[in-house]
């Protein structure tokens, strides 16, 4: 007869931390509570305490990030150079301004179809949507109940992680963002993150926008000019 699984309040923090460590991906609070056979409210309280503990440790190399109702343990952006020495630099082709424009359209209108994106942009966006799918920033979200049942697209959890927000509800209103800022989103993200990582808070992005409007030039990326 198997021993009955039981975890004490004192063991809960270590158990949650262990689950996040070995998962390698985001884990929902519901899944953690189910695994540990405890209340979700208890798990949520432990997660908040753990997040604060990691954030308040200036010498630690790990952090816990929340996206919607899921949590992920990951390395801090400040450790990027160390990890590149170990694993080699991660080389990704820069995306074009058109790609970031398309990403913004999907983020603010999700879920939406290719046709809806193209209606806003005025040109074909097939290749750009494929690139965003490959990058992991968008994903398919079912099909529209219309003739041909076209695929719907939305931003992914990876998008939330890399852009440093918990949910799309944290995106600034369109009235607060200039068209130039959306087009130059890659440079703005890099500048706001100190040139080290794309993880960024919305406050940092808006501060970068304010600096740009004050007269600081934005360095244009000439790569990937083949996108529509």
Domain extent listing, the chain: 9-80, 97-213
Give yes or no for residue 178 having a pLDDT over 70.
no
Residues 70-95: what's their mean pLDDT? 85
| 13 neighbors 6 (Cβ within 8 angstroms) | no
- CB 223: neighbour CB atoms within 10 A? 11
Contact 68, 167 (CB under 8 A): yes
Question: Residue 182 pLDDT more than 70?
Answer: no
pLDDT at 170: 80
Average pLDDT over residues 58-84: 90
pLDDT at 224: 42
Average pLDDT over residues 162-167: 82
Record: fold of 97-213: Arc Repressor Mutant, subunit A (1.10.10)
Confidence of residue 148 (pLDDT cuts 50, 70, 90): confident
Q: What are phi and psi of 9, to 5 degrees?
A: -60, -35
Contact 207, 192 (CB under 8 A): yes
- Residue 191: pLDDT over 60: no
pLDDT at 227: 55
Domain 9-80 has CATH 2.40.30.10: no
The count of other CB atoms within 10 Å of the CB of residue 129 is 21
Average pLDDT in the chain = 78
Give the Cα separation of 146 and 149 in Å (integer).
5
Residue 125 CB coordination number (10 Å) = 26
Q: Evaluate if residue 92 carries a pLDDT over 80.
A: no
> Taking the alpha carbons of 180, 182, 185, 191 in that order, is the dihedral positive or negative?
positive
Cis peptide, bond prior to residue 109, ω within 30 of zero: no
């Amino acid at each position: 007869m198997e021993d009955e699984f039981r975890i004490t309040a004192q063991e809960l923090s270590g158990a949650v931390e262990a689950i996040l460590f070995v998962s390698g991906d985001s884990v929902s609070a519901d899944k953690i509570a189910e695994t540990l056979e405890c209340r979700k409210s208890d798990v949520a309280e432990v997660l908040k305490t753990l997040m604060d503990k990691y954030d308040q440790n200036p010498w630690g190399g790990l952090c816990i990030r929340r996206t919607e109702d899921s949590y992920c343990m990951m390395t801090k952006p400040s450790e990027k150079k160390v990890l590149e020495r170990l694993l080699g630099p991660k080389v990704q082709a820069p995306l074009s301004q058109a790609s970031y424009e398309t990403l913004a359209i999907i983020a603010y209108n999700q879920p939406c179809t290719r046709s809806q994106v193209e209606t806003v942009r005025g040109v074909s966006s097939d290749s750009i949507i494929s690139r965003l799918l490959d990058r992991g920033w968008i994903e398919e979200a079912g099909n529209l109940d219309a003739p041909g049942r076209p695929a719907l697209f939305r931003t992914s959890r990876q998008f939330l992680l890399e852009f440093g927000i918990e949910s799309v509800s944290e995106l600034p209103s369109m009235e607060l963002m200039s068209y130039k800022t959306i087009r130059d989103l890659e440079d703005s993200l890099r500048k706001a993150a100190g040139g080290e990582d794309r993880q960024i808070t919305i406050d940092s992005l808006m501060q970068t926008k304010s600096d740009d409007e004050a007269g600081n030039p934005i360095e244009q990326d000439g790569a990937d000019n083949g996108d529509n």
